Structure 1
């Protein structure tokens, strides 16, 4: 291993910098098979990962690709290229640095395969595509190092599983390949180390000095937060005041819709004309890049944004982060806080703005967790099999393969270390035949076994179709939005197909902070015109609706157990005290259920604190159980912490409703024909290669894909319910949209400790649920009974009898 050359040390000195201890430690361990560096934002993680590369390339003895850098975001790869090019250019090193993402031109991609640069910056999808070519062994022949940035973000998704399978392939081609993982927010370093390393090789973990604690607090406002809602409009004056006091402020939101609404309200109140931008994933790329460039130049005082700016992009002189709405997840909050004062040993400054009264409690709990350095996160399950199926097809594209060798290679990837051979064989059979119910169709007969035992593509021409559909990101079905012109106007961004279908000419909505009027749909493009309305019909961008983490929920329950709450604003402390006075507060290890009449209906409020998806599922299952036992439910609404059910009968003994086997049976019955399963099937079937979204350069619309996937789902449900894709769908639905595991955890945690409190009126903690949107009606016996009673009353009023 070469020493840190005078060229590099002189450059550090000229900059007035010194090599940080963790950077030197990474350099000293450059020959280790795998190393995970956990260092604070602004601590020079990227330079730590690349110092050995620069030193080896500065020696001038390497030809071809030396280091591969993989990040979750295309923009992050571009940012690293800009930052890495600075020392290379200023020192005068003859090192080629290029990026390869979905935005790279076809000409450049072709040249990169023939003549790769020394350092290639890419994404998991682009790397998977590169490994699918027959010339991959030649392109990666000289590869020495892989740097995986923001590894915590990749480890939480199927993109990370895909990446680890691709690295297993590269390790086969380059046995001495060294792996480096970089992150600032890791709640379980050992788990990430196992994820990164080639199984069963060890991965060394380096913990850098965490630096000073962040300067984080709740934003003080003159107006109290409302009982319900997520817009935080009440805080606009206070937020504007903070923008005036700082150079650049990032204002994070949990969904794109909330970001659009807040930006619109902020702009209406911005009488001084402060330069403020908006940035999220549904905006047109040109608009996002324009905002990014303005940030770099320091021209914007504030940027309203979503997770599109979560990760470690070093743009502009940000000195304040504001989180609008409860963060739901401590690790995500820490990541966002790190965008402010992106410098080593400089404390980040952040303010939290709860959108409603309950979120005040959640924000205080999150603040305490950040100060205690207590990150949250759920343990990783086994690697998903739909990604495994895609990787088998990718391997076949690159040439014939031996099943035993491919199995050994795949089980060297951390997420698949415990993969059973029977599971692998089932995936291989699916890729080869489509499975029992589909093996009669030629389109799913994709692999065949040669006389020598190796597997290959049945039709070599199918490699192009497989490559067109590589990836695990499942886009929401969106349509482009453009200003109306004779031949296609300026692109503004995208909206969901479902939202577009709900529009009629004349409707107005927000996109990119602009109010536009829907004019019509032409060639699958939403055409709009500018409007100056002050109250638009708001576009409901999908965005991610995060569920409060298990650890954060536990902290909220611990906070409830305190005798009083000096850390809470007086209005929230008085609210909780009143709840304790008229009823009781939820506790850890117990399940509080309140029963009370309201508006002529009986209400049941279950405080499960299991997260939004799980509580929504619990509402569905409980109302189903109540319907079966004659309790006549009429509907329910769910939040992260509770589900409120209303109906015709009061519940005297709720315990039987929570019998886990009955709930599980009800879930299986409900899921079988439910849209949740069809939606999950469609996503997994697309990843596994059963459904093609892209064909011959054309992309199927969401409706086309849904139609074909629904037919497949119904066919398999009827003729082959144990088909591999049905097994995968069941597992994915239980873990994701349904989140039944958190219901099971809740029931196991409380056991028979269920407290039913019967009251004569609504309680303070239940009151906000009456204001929640998203109420779900129950169509059953209660509805029929009400109709019969109303019919009888009308007949009686008319002097008639039935």
Structure 2
């Protein structure tokens, strides 16, 4: 907390609050006190508490006439606002204009993102506004221009919104590096971060502070708001499905909820599910209620149109993804729906906060589980929200590929000295681990491509002068950097356009390449027919109907460790099952009678015959990525031991493997040395390290996706990028296995692609205690996972009807108490 009496607010601000019937909240005035004291600040406050206004309050105060009587009105760029989403920046600009115009403050506010026209970008560099709203990527590009020192020399404040959403990832690395550069250009700069959902504020204070000095960052905590009103929607017949994720059983009830509320925001976890749920709602929308769709692959024009319609109150419901998770303030939303499992209490709280935006009124939310495990997860998440428990990803060392990109951006802005750059880097907690040797390796990579690639001129991007300064090898490398720089490396996309040029958005190249003229698919809420595929464009026209929806290869969100622990605790507490629906309670009771239930600190493993094969189920609760990795490792060990593995299926909660012979000793398959031997061998031989290398090669600038000045014709396809990175990967693996990008790829493979830390948690539990239960047939707890066999590669929701049918058949066997009693359909 700020250890001083909050200062008196300028009368212009207090009058504005009074005129709107509001009061200045304590945490808002504390933000002004922290700024006056020269401190950085982290504001943690509930949604609806006025976080954004609190973050900008010192900026508004600096322009108030009562404060500028003796000092001139600030000129040039005063405050930089950084958000993870372009939509959030546009929403903040719209809401910030109101107090500025009402108070008559002489403040110019503009936004800057990849969607901003090039002429406006050039003008902003020459004559910046007082407040610039941008994203981490756009800020990094701004810092790559020679005008950057002059543009940012007078910068007073940086406001980072929704800091929890990206600080722990590579976008956070990029922003951390940008902050070090900004602080060097404007030493008096104050840093501010805002969030509603932080499990460990001190970790974020360390990330935010120069040199990790958390004492220089004031922790400002907001006034508590009304607890949210969260309910779990159940089927009318009180039977929670055994399997599936789309929860389409809830569509009729959702239509009724939409009709009963002013505006309903429906969150899904994937873009495919957004399109699928929108289609299901529209098919059931007999009352023609205005319903929209919003996700990151839709065209900018389509997103802006629906955002405007929501702001004007013209939509009754909007189906969306994480594209609207963060901070978008539409006051008429009075219900939030989460389709499927929330995966984390912080994510759920963030989404719930989109309703009402009033601190004194509870936000209303409905959780719609797709299956019984998702019901348990939703129940655990609801309890966590009510108890104020948060979760989140831990911080890890900054990535070398991001550092390489930053080095190149620094060179584009002008010559630099190695020792000065090292000092800047080490002032960031994310890169405090970097020493002179590490930086020398990164500089050598940017300058030559590394030992194995130094004979190729195209990798020689910077050179070292005799006086020790580094500069660009040729001015053309600046243009190449700016057109290729970025952190988000999605699968290559195809533009979906009508013949007249109107863009609808993007689908992944793999999906688009599978289509031929005459094929139909549904996208952006429309049925479309393919006319042609040309130059990374899919030309379409309206169609009468379609059942195909594009799928996307985005990374799955695993259940958080915190929620997983809560679910395990619920399973180990039969007394608490009375709170569950009858069918869920019966499911767990039969499981306890026939087998065991997963217990905290122990690993439950079940082995049983099924359809002539030997099955083993591991109840890890460590998320899909970790279970997928564990499945690869366990089946390799089964092969070595002659057990004849035939396959495996992974969910967030369970890993099921099957083979010709039974697993007698599961602990032997899970000995800790699996990470020292088989893990390294598997990752090196699998596609994972190549995939990780592909991403770090693009981020670091080693492989370029776009050639300057060539428009769409100069953009490489996904296949071309893959060919280039695979070729370089093979060269480096053979001739320079300690290359800086191989090291960066390994870091990604361990942390993000395989979730090796959570795999290690499973092995730790297995080393302490394995509850191995031998059964004569499938157990109730195994039904959801076994029903997924053969359907794992399908998009969630695509085969829900088949899943439900298969799950009911398996459940009939699993829930039969007398093994001699024939199950229905036997």
The TM tier, using the shorter chain, reads: over 0.9
Residue 54, structure 1, aligned to residue 64, structure 2: no
Post-superposition Cα deviations, 1:633-655, rounded to whole Å, max 9, x if no partner, equal 11111101111111100111122
Post-superposition Cα deviations, 1:388-411, rounded to whole Å, max 9, x if no partner, equal 111111111111111111011011
Post-superposition Cα deviations, 1:740-777, rounded to whole Å, max 9, x if no partner, equal 11101221234241121111111111112222156689
Residue 183, structure 1, aligned to residue 195, structure 2: yes
- Match among 320, 332, 343 for residue 358 of structure 2: 343
In structure 2, what is the Cα distance between the partners aligned to 1:5 and 1:129?
36
> Aligned residue for 1:213?
227
1:149-298 pair list within 5 angstroms: 149-201=161-213, 202-223=216-237, 224-298=239-313
Q: Is the 8 A contact 2:265 2:335 kept in 1?
A: yes
Q: Any idea what SS the aligned residue of 2:133 has?
A: strand
Deviation of 1:495 after TM superposition, in Å, equals: 1.0
Deviation of 1:87 after TM superposition, in Å, equals: 1.3
Deviation of 1:681 after TM superposition, in Å, equals: 0.5
Q: Is the 8 A contact 1:275 1:301 kept in 2?
A: yes
Deviation of 1:52 after TM superposition, in Å, equals: 1.1
Residue 4, structure 1, aligned to residue 16, structure 2: no
Q: Is the 8 A contact 1:448 1:455 kept in 2?
A: yes
> Aligned residue for 1:434?
449
Q: Any idea what SS the aligned residue of 1:162 has?
A: helix
In structure 2, what is the Cα distance between the partners aligned to 1:603 and 1:144?
62
In structure 2, what is the Cα distance between the partners aligned to 1:193 and 1:342?
26
Q: Any idea what SS the aligned residue of 2:574 has?
A: coil
Deviation of 1:662 after TM superposition, in Å, equals: 2.9
Deviation of 1:538 after TM superposition, in Å, equals: 2.7
Q: Is the 8 A contact 1:511 1:539 kept in 2?
A: yes
In structure 2, what is the Cα distance between the partners aligned to 1:17 and 1:591?
54
> Aligned residue for 1:784?
none
> Aligned residue for 1:725?
741
Q: Is the 8 A contact 2:163 2:194 kept in 1?
A: yes
> Aligned residue for 2:482?
467
Q: Return closer, same or farther for 1:556/1:737 CA change in 2, 3 Å cut-off.
A: same
> Aligned residue for 1:709?
725
Deviation of 1:624 after TM superposition, in Å, equals: 0.6
Aligned length: 773
- Match among 575, 579, 593 for residue 587 of structure 2: 575
Post-superposition Cα deviations, 1:282-337, rounded to whole Å, max 9, x if no partner, equal 11221111111111111111111110110001125100001010101111100000
- Match among 413, 416, 420 for residue 401 of structure 1: 416
Q: Is the 8 A contact 1:2 1:55 kept in 2?
A: no
Deviates more, 1:370-379 or 1:743-752: 743-752
> Aligned residue for 1:138?
150
Q: Is the 8 A contact 1:635 1:775 kept in 2?
A: no
Q: Is the 8 A contact 2:168 2:396 kept in 1?
A: no
> Aligned residue for 1:757?
773
Post-superposition Cα deviations, 1:662-705, rounded to whole Å, max 9, x if no partner, equal 34422222222322211111111111111111221432221111
- Match among 548, 560, 574 for residue 549 of structure 1: 560
Q: Is the 8 A contact 1:509 1:515 kept in 2?
A: yes
Deviation of 1:505 after TM superposition, in Å, equals: 3.8
Residue 746, structure 1, aligned to residue 762, structure 2: yes
Q: Any idea what SS the aligned residue of 1:222 has?
A: coil
TM-score by length of 1: 0.94
> Aligned residue for 2:677?
665
Deviation of 1:491 after TM superposition, in Å, equals: 2.2
> Aligned residue for 2:35?
30
Q: Is the 8 A contact 2:667 2:766 kept in 1?
A: no
Deviation of 1:243 after TM superposition, in Å, equals: 0.9
Post-superposition Cα deviations, 1:372-392, rounded to whole Å, max 9, x if no partner, equal 111112321111111111111
Q: Is the 8 A contact 2:7 2:32 kept in 1?
A: no
Q: Return closer, same or farther for 1:775/1:236 CA change in 2, 3 Å cut-off.
A: closer
Q: Any idea what SS the aligned residue of 2:731 has?
A: helix
> Aligned residue for 1:106?
118
In structure 2, what is the Cα distance between the partners aligned to 1:291 and 1:540?
22
Q: Is the 8 A contact 1:2 1:56 kept in 2?
A: no
In structure 1, what is the Cα distance between the partners aligned to 2:438 and 2:764?
30
Post-superposition Cα deviations, 1:419-454, rounded to whole Å, max 9, x if no partner, equal 233222221221122111111211112222211111
Post-superposition Cα deviations, 1:239-281, rounded to whole Å, max 9, x if no partner, equal 1111111100001000111111111111111111111111111
Q: Which runs of 5+ in 2 are unaligned?
A: 1-5, 794-826
Q: Any idea what SS the aligned residue of 1:637 has?
A: strand
> Aligned residue for 1:653?
665
Q: Any idea what SS the aligned residue of 2:658 has?
A: strand
> Aligned residue for 1:798?
none
1:319-718 pair list within 5 angstroms: 319-483=334-498, 485=499, 488-533=500-545, 536-564=547-575, 565-697=577-709, 698-718=714-734
Q: Any idea what SS the aligned residue of 2:166 has?
A: helix
Q: Any idea what SS the aligned residue of 1:257 has?
A: helix
In structure 1, what is the Cα distance between the partners aligned to 2:312 and 2:511?
36
Deviates more, 1:651-660 or 1:319-328: 651-660
Residue 769, structure 1, aligned to residue 780, structure 2: no
Q: Is the 8 A contact 1:515 1:532 kept in 2?
A: yes
Q: Return closer, same or farther for 1:177/1:489 CA change in 2, 3 Å cut-off.
A: closer
Q: Any idea what SS the aligned residue of 2:656 has?
A: strand
In structure 2, what is the Cα distance between the partners aligned to 1:173 and 1:182?
23
Q: Return closer, same or farther for 1:543/1:662 CA change in 2, 3 Å cut-off.
A: closer
Q: Is the 8 A contact 2:405 2:699 kept in 1?
A: yes
> Aligned residue for 1:796?
none
Q: Any idea what SS the aligned residue of 2:394 has?
A: coil
Deviates more, 1:563-572 or 1:299-308: 563-572
Q: Any idea what SS the aligned residue of 2:781 has?
A: coil
Q: Is the 8 A contact 1:250 1:303 kept in 2?
A: yes
In structure 2, what is the Cα distance between the partners aligned to 1:754 and 1:453?
60
Q: Return closer, same or farther for 1:205/1:773 CA change in 2, 3 Å cut-off.
A: farther
In structure 2, what is the Cα distance between the partners aligned to 1:634 and 1:195?
46
Q: Is the 8 A contact 2:234 2:240 kept in 1?
A: no
> Aligned residue for 1:794?
none
Q: Is the 8 A contact 2:693 2:741 kept in 1?
A: yes
TM-score by length of 2: 0.91
